[in-house]
Chains A and B, each alone.
Chain A
């Protein structure tokens, strides 16, 4: 009987000790913010296009962390959806886009400057401040900063904004795989 009592007391003491330790640790090593959101945000393409239904990439990252479906980023493409699935340990899903052929193509906004009336509506719409201009003066897109979100196209009252495909720098000597030799081959071989 005494042995049982001792065992119970010892276990209780241990439980109290470890409880106190855990409580202290949870307070001392508290993680500020949600690190998962940061990691999801890092995977998103940051076009800030709002096609996922959220006003930017970070809000979508927060929503995904809170349980929203992770395949709603057309600019990121299938690779982003897969990377998110891997990060979150979820089922890989097919990308949820409109299925248009040019979905994966990188684009950049272009203002036909002769037609611009300087209404500043596109400037207000741009999520990354990539359009310069002032009221009643011509506007133009900073090509390097444009994410191709096409949020500026709709507000334009004179429809002078086009989305043009970005000239892709094609990788040289891209191999197609076994049986299809790349254009440039090593000149000498041994054996």
Chain B
């Protein structure tokens, strides 16, 4: 604690500061003495498609394909993504799940390459004259070269350097702080390759055109500071040495430390006009642009008491951790814990078959004495130390309580999302509470909750869209129905409104007459079926209407002038003729009614007889009721048929008596007279034909005259008969 206060007091070069921070033992001397060594030549490479932050790359090779060193084997897809390259020449043997390093343990899609030992480069495309290239071309090149932040987070550099429309970068910061204990990869890189780093910084300056460039480096690396200072002496670049304090190498913390700018929660530094790149990333950018080499290797610190040759190794990406540790002289018996990354932010590896990836800056193979199992977790005593050291000015113990009680929303309100998981709070916790793991757990739960919320919102939208669609379809159907109804009504209105001089009136009347006729016929049929007494009247009315309709159809000129009514609408005729017409129709109706009734009676009678026969054959069956009912019905029908017959006869008699009254003779006399006249005529004609040869001319002439006389008489009597019959409506059957 005293040391902590003292360091704070002695900070010198930077006028700004970030809150909190801790001073863990550095353990850097062990690995930073030896120069960078070449890593082991791997037999087999495992290249995860997602070595970076963001969307995984999409493979562009197939199993069995031969690949050369530096060949692009997977393409970046999406805005935040980058490519993957073969780190050596060989054959693709598998594309599938394989254990990968990461906080979320598990398998991920990897491309596995068997090395052919030749380590043969594919064609390279160096751009020594990068200043001619447009920034967009350079960004595309970074993306295709697979450059991702090598500091530890693995954020794709192309996404970081691609500036939006009108976006300006006022400060470019090169992060050389390397604040986490044990790690010396950047330290050694700066000591040995400062010149190349400087060129990388030039490229970034060309790309971003910042008004100033700052390099932030901790004061515990004097050799690296000297090397950088020498390399940057003639460049527009400011080297800022900052006091050693963890986590000054955090992006937001370094920005705050160097510029005093605090990056707002939920925003990116580029939105505030600052871009921060790791020094190793700058080196990788130089290699990618000037030499055309994609990112296929990185400097990894291998350290810890369990390795014989700690130091920094330039390892091909995809090399299994196992092989690298062997190369560094691992004493398997002493190895107790294996960490990837630093001791503060790194994670334990349980499987040594996982590959070295772009974010693997350090491997710590520790024995039991070096990194002992932490003591058991105890209850929080609310000492507040965690809040003092938090570099993000959060309230770690509040977050801890909320995370423990699964009150994730409360944790969110306490800005859990802004936690950078640096581990400073857990480092100082006197109760040894693994606070960061609680935060990771709570963050994961919040992320899952957010995902669920997004899914729920989408489901809501889809549900509402579906409801709207169903309603719309219903409305359309209703509208179509209404439109059809409207059209029908319009047509009807147009017909009725048609002017008279086009004969519309007649047509209308005709239509009405036909409708009326049909209705009357239906009514009559119903009445007959029911045996109603007025069936005959109805039938007669129907035939009246039919006649009227026929007449209208024939466009009788009288139709227009005549008032309504069947009788009055009849053609010009004497009252007698009208009466005879009426009687004729009535007779016709009566005849058909009688015929129908008689037929019904006959059918019912036949059915009755069948039923009686069936009953005689099967006396046991209980159809007696039916038979009785049938008998009753037969009797009823017979009575009706008789009634019809009687009515018909009555009318016939009446007609005959009328005839006698009018003609002075009855129908029979008229018929006999007509027949007699006919016979006389025929006989005379025969005599004339027989005597034509024998008789003389005078006789023949006389007979001829007599024949003509007879013909006239016969004709007259026939006419009289016809007229009389028609007058009374007694049309011959």
The CA-CA distance from A182 to B452 in the complex, in Å, is 25
CB of B448 within 8 A of CB of A171, answer yes
With A129-B466, A178-B379 already in contact, the answer to whether A46 and B459 are too (CB < 8 A) is: yes
Interface residues of B in 327-384 (CB under 8 A from A): 337, 339, 343-344, 346-348, 364, 366, 371, 373-379
The CA-CA distance from A168 to B682 in the complex, in Å, is 118
Interface residues of A in 10-69 (CB under 8 A from B): 41, 44-48, 56-58
B105 to chain A: closest residue by CB: A172
CB of A46 within 8 A of CB of B460, answer yes
CB of B430 within 8 A of CB of A181, answer no
CB of B346 within 8 A of CB of A179, answer no
CB of A41 within 8 A of CB of B459, answer no
Q: Chain B, interface size: which category?
A: 35 or more
Cβ of B316 under 8 Å from chain A:
no
CB of A182 within 8 A of CB of B437, answer yes
Q: Chain B, 458-479, contact with A by CB distance < 8 Å: what is the 0/1 string?
A: 1110111111000000000000
Cβ of B104 under 8 Å from chain A:
yes
CB of B427 within 8 A of CB of A147, answer no
- Contact residue among B437, B445, B455 (Cβ-Cβ distance under 8 Å from A185): B437
Cβ of A184 under 8 Å from chain B:
yes
With A145-B459, A185-B437, A190-B427 already in contact, the answer to whether A171 and B445 are too (CB < 8 A) is: yes
Interface residues of B in 420-435 (CB under 8 A from A): 423, 426-430, 432, 434
The CA-CA distance from A182 to B444 in the complex, in Å, is 15
The CA-CA distance from A46 to B459 in the complex, in Å, is 6
Cβ of B438 under 8 Å from chain A:
yes
The CA-CA distance from A182 to B100 in the complex, in Å, is 20
- Contact residue among B104, B434, B458 (Cβ-Cβ distance under 8 Å from A172): B104
Judged by DSSP, the binding face of A is loop
Q: List, in ascending order, chain B residues with CB within 8 A of A127's CB.
A: 463, 466
Q: List, in ascending order, chain A residues with CB within 8 A of B122's CB.
A: none
Chain A contact residue count (CB 8 A cutoff)? 35
Cβ of A99 under 8 Å from chain B:
no
CB of B463 within 8 A of CB of A48, answer yes
Cβ of A188 under 8 Å from chain B:
yes
- Contact residue among B371, B373, B377, B456 (Cβ-Cβ distance under 8 Å from A179): B377
Cβ of A89 under 8 Å from chain B:
no
With A145-B458, A178-B379, A191-B428 already in contact, the answer to whether A186 and B463 are too (CB < 8 A) is: no
Give the most central of B344, B348, B455, B459: most A CB within 10 Å. B459
CB distance from A112 to the nearest CB of B (A): 24
Cβ of B440 under 8 Å from chain A:
yes
Closest 7 CB pairs of A and B: A46-B456, A187-B343, A171-B444, A128-B462, A46-B459, A172-B104, A46-B460
Residues of B within 8 A of A (CB): 22, 24-25, 103-105, 181, 337, 339, 343-344, 346-348, 364, 366, 371, 373-379, 404, 423, 426-430, 432, 434, 436-438, 440-441, 444-445, 448, 452, 455-460, 462-467
Residues of A within 8 A of B (CB): 41, 44-48, 56-58, 127-130, 144-145, 147, 169, 171-175, 177-179, 181-182, 184-191
Given A173-B441, A186-B343, A189-B426, 18 other A-B contacts at CB below 8 A? A44-B456, A46-B455, A46-B463, A48-B463, A56-B463, A57-B460, A128-B459, A129-B466, A145-B458, A147-B459, A172-B104, A172-B105, A172-B444, A175-B437, A181-B374, A184-B437, A186-B426, A189-B429
